[in-house]
Structure 1
């Protein structure tokens, strides 16, 4: 009797693992996790739903005189870090940011050259103090 029950369980298990064709009819196989669609159709449907939601969420505001003038002010105040802070030379792709917060060319990138205000020594001491705990010898008076 137990063999008959096992064979019935196996058949029911096989029925649920049979791959189903895609709901969109593209000919590929789908899965339950992708709502019986193949991965490509599921991704397309997901992207379409996402685009529809983002379009519905966007609110189009008509610009007024005050908002247009404030927008131009904010774009003018944005400063790009494409010049060296010391020599004002244009640094193309490879500029060097320093811990003091400025941007430098290859000639002024070292802290000794550009008179950096960042205190590397105290930061280094603090890092060593936190990473290396103080080791004290136990007092062993009874061994003396």
Structure 2
């Protein structure tokens, strides 16, 4: 009876469910939403404000902070009824460096020995010729390696030991 006389509303008897029907309980402090739904809504509003301000600066052709502030204030009224959905970027790039087309990923099959076609998995050996081999065919004489080890060795020695010549002394 006291509530009817004073005009105050009584607090609800039971807990309030989230207005987004996620199954959790909400509170009046978070607009009858659970903490996660309220956080997501605030994040969407913040992203919408940033998108509107960047769009406004592109349209106006200005990049100063003072020019963006009125656009943000005007955009908040229009943005709230139509929240912008955030788009997430995929963690994997949509292009590959080894394939000819950039849109489709390169199919990775099981790793196999180049000579006997045996599955090698993680124990495969990469040769200097660029192929993958099993433990039996890993040596160059076992798989007829086309890599020229002699020329590569000579080049390495030539780089490591440059020719040092002293300047000629002038005869007196």
TM bucket by the smaller chain? 0.3 to 0.5
Using structure 2 for the length normalisation, give the TM-score. Answer: 0.36
The structure whose Rg is larger is 2
Using structure 1 for the length normalisation, give the TM-score. Answer: 0.42
Higher helix share: 1
